[in-house]
A and B are shown apart, each in its own frame.
Chain A
């Protein structure tokens, strides 16, 4: 069975600085997806970034980028130029590839506070 671990329950960063959130996972699969979701106080789940395991190039979306280390089973999220609106709970998630569609396995979450 796959597992996802986020070892940092809480983090804080000053506005405009860079922060990295850690995620490790365990799987015997070779073909899968990894995700970072953001959950602000509104509770809405928002997809931040995704990575296909077969791609060696790290995914980037504006100020958000990942460091995907497949052999180490590590998938960290870097937020550059942190903004107050980045304050939220962040979840790392794993999805095995199925023909019909995948099921998400989530980590425990990291609560990020961006301070002015």
Chain B
């Protein structure tokens, strides 16, 4: 069955370290998204991509970067982790075009000490 996976599911890191969160989908969706979930804020969009080599900033992109070298993967990198980036991170994907449903991964809980 097609699916979307995230790894790792849990990670603890230290302030200042570079961290990469992986997202992989097997639906062959062109669109992929990264959100972070914090108490009182719901989910907020970090970065998104509409296809290979395309990346765009979302609402809360500072301190994060993404790259899209193939259709299946959109890794999220925290260049220099900060305690404010402690959060739960969700990846999502959807087909391109005027299609509304996004399919979410299981989430990654990141703690920055």
Q: Which residues of the partner chain A approach B58 to less than 8 Å between Cβ atoms? A: 103
The answer to whether B43 touches A102 (Cβ under 8 A) is: no
Q: Which residues of the partner chain B approach A35 to less than 8 Å between Cβ atoms? A: 100
Q: How many residues on chain B are close to A (CB under 8 Å)?
A: 28
Q: Which residues of the partner chain B approach A104 to less than 8 Å between Cβ atoms? A: 33, 35, 43, 45, 92, 102
Cα distance A107–B41 in the bound complex, in angstroms: 7
Residue A13 lies at the interface, judged by CB distance under 8 Å to chain B? no
Cα distance A50–B101 in the bound complex, in angstroms: 9
Partner of B99 from A47, A101, A106 at Cβ < 8 Å: A101
CB distance from A6 to the nearest CB of B (A): 8
The answer to whether A95 touches B40 (Cβ under 8 A) is: no
Q: Give a binary string over A79-116; 1 marks a CB under 8 Å from any B CB, 0 the rest.
A: 00000000000010001011111111111110000000
Residue A11 lies at the interface, judged by CB distance under 8 Å to chain B? no
The answer to whether A43 touches B107 (Cβ under 8 A) is: yes
Residue B94 lies at the interface, judged by CB distance under 8 Å to chain A? yes
Q: How many residues on chain A are close to B (CB under 8 Å)?
A: 26
Partner of A108 from B40, B92, B98 at Cβ < 8 Å: B40
Residue A64 lies at the interface, judged by CB distance under 8 Å to chain B? no
Residue B18 lies at the interface, judged by CB distance under 8 Å to chain A? no
The answer to whether A101 touches B101 (Cβ under 8 A) is: no
Partner of B43 from A95, A97, A106 at Cβ < 8 Å: A106
Q: Which A positions have Cβ atoms within 8 angstroms of B? A: 4, 6, 33, 35, 42-45, 47, 50, 52, 91, 95, 97-109
11 A/B residue pairs, CB under 8 Å, sorted by A: A4-B42, A45-B104, A98-B98, A100-B96, A101-B96, A101-B98, A102-B100, A103-B58, A104-B92, A106-B43, A108-B42
